[in-house]
Amino acid sequence: MKTSTPAEARFRPLGLVGLFVATGLIAMGGSCTAFNPAFLNLIGPGDGSFTTIPNAPGHVVVAFVNNAEIDERLVDFLAPELGLSDAEVRMLRPRVRLRVRIAFTDGTSLPIEMIDGSREFVDPAFDASAVPDLNQNDLTNVVGRCDVSGVAVELNSIEVFVPVELIGFQLVEVQGEGGQTTTDFEERQRLPPGFNALEVDDVDDDGNTILQRNIGVRDVPSPTANVLCGSVISITMRGVLDVPFLEAETNDPSFDIDDEPTVARIGGRYEFDVSVQ
């Protein structure tokens, strides 16, 4: 039988369904309920209908909220191949995963990978089973006892799934029949669908942006310290998943591999907001 580490025993991942299994929550921290108003409003209708339920002083909730969208051109390119209805298209969200590190008052910590978004939005020409992480169960929240000292997203762990193949072209010199030299794009690489690590903008010593990437330096998820019992820590992601199209060469998703600004932003542009309630 697998034994849990002290951190795992105090802070366990639970799916949304698991949150409504009261016995599972009680077993983690005595007789108090984890359904505090801030968390229930976060996952519920947002009309305040849950606010009559008392706060839960014995638990801490960490929730990931994926409010990112998919660029309309990418949807138009891929949705017809998937046969998605208008309602299904409206429900699409980028597939995102990130790792949250939970620190405890005794100095231990526990990394938890959260993942959310549309699993079915991937080019059907590729076998989705070749990317097993794409099909793992969603995990958007965890609940644990309240000996938590801090919560932080590991910046190098944030990834978004790019659902299409990307063709990389390079501008090269070509010798013509008459001996004249011209320049033309030649295909250099093909990147299959897969998770793409999101990177923070490059800045100089004065904080000025040198190269814009996926996340602005002011838009990274901030760490949360001095966590109080009964807190709900929500990590909200906004932005747009998009890919480049090198229209001069093809109608498919593509890019100039020497175009550094375009390459740096592959996967889209995002911002994070961390709130404690």
* pLDDT by 10-residue block (mean), the chain, 277 residues: 57 47 32 43 46 57 96 95 91 96 92 94 81 82 88 96 96 78 89 95 93 96 92 96 94 96 97 95
Query: How large is the greatest C-alpha to C-alpha distance in the chain, in angstroms?
Result: 86
- Whether residue 125 lies inside any domain: the answer is yes
What is the reported pLDDT for 11? 59
Q: What is the DSSP letter of 144?
A: E
pLDDT given for residue 12 in this prediction:
60
Q: How far from chain centre, in Å, is Cα 271? A: 11
Beta strands in 242-276 (DSSP E): 254-256, 269-276
195 domain residue, yes or no: no
Helix extents (H) in the chain: 6-10, 16-19, 22-29, 37-43, 72-82, 86-90, 260-264
Q: What is the pLDDT of residue 8?
A: 60
Residue 167, in any domain of the structure: no
Residue 144: predicted pLDDT: 84
From CA 168, how far away is CA 248, in angstroms rounded? Answer: 13
Please give the pLDDT value at position 16: 41
How high is the pLDDT of residue 108?
Answer: 92
Does 185 fall in a domain?
A: no
Instruction: Dihedral sign for Cα 197, 200, 205, 211, please.
Output: positive
Tell me how many domains the chain contains: 1
Candidates 65, 73, 63, 116; CA nearest to 268 is: 73
Residue 95 maps to a domain: yes
Q: How far apart are CA 119 and CA 136, in angstroms?
A: 9
Domain span at residue 126 reads 6-161+213-244+269-276
Q: Is residue 188 part of a domain?
A: no
Distance CA 245, CA 248 (A): 9
Per-residue confidence (pLDDT) for residue 66, from 0 to 100: 97
SS3 262: helix
- Alpha carbons 75 and 89: distance in angstroms, whole number: 8
DSSP summary character for residue 50: T
* 269 touches 162 (CB < 8 A): no
Cα distances from 67 to residues 57, 63, 93, 94, 240, in angstroms, run 28, 13, 8, 9, 9
- Please, are residues 141 and 19 in contact by the beta-carbon 8 Å criterion? yes
Question: Is residue 252 included in any domain, yes or no?
Answer: no
Alpha carbons 10 and 108: distance in angstroms, whole number: 11
| Residue 255 included in any domain | no
Is residue 203 helix, strand or coil?
Answer: strand
